[in-house]
Amino acid sequence: MNEKDNFALVPRAAGLLEKAEPGAKRILSGMVADTLALAKKTASKEVRVADAQLESWYQEGEKYYRAIGVRHNYIEAVKWFRKAAEGGHAKAQYKYGICLYNGAGTKQDCREAEKWYRKAANQGLAQAQGTLDLCYPQFHLRRE
């Protein structure tokens, strides 16, 4: 075995951080902390932009569903509700479920509606939690 193969036993040169004075170490540590904080802040802004985009799509669906400034167009409403629903917007999931349940702007599909109601309900949307009852009529049978 020669010296070149035995590199692990050779002392390595101290890095800049090890050579730095204690005050400089604090400054460098602070810079690293500031960089991490900025990265977290930027990431949360990106999430908020995504949430804002989902809300915008939901509101676009509401315009067509309720004819706010446009003509009623359930097909267009379904398009926007579905887009927002697939992104995880709870109200859009609920509204998309309503459209599916009633066959408004899309083919009626109660099973698919239940799936979207459940997604919204799991996010805590009370309207969706109550509407899930529609999917289970057997629970409304009288007990005698």
Residue 87 lies in a domain: yes
pLDDT tens, 43-75?
665 555 588 999 999 999 999 999 999 999 999
Residue 70 lies in a domain: yes
Longest dimension (CA), the chain: 93
Q: What pLDDT is recorded for position 47?
A: 59
Range of the domain at 76: 21-140
Statement: residue 139 has pLDDT above 60: no
Total number of domains constituting the chain = 1
Going by C-alpha positions, the residue among 88, 83, 78 that lies closest to residue 119 is 88
Statement: residue 134 has pLDDT above 50: yes
Q: What is 69-88 written as a DSSP string?
A: SS---HHHHHHHHHHHHHTT
Going by C-alpha positions, the residue among 129, 100, 124, 123 that lies closest to residue 112 is 100
CATH number of the domain encompassing residue 50: 1.25.40.10
Percentage of the chain beyond pLDDT 90 is: 51
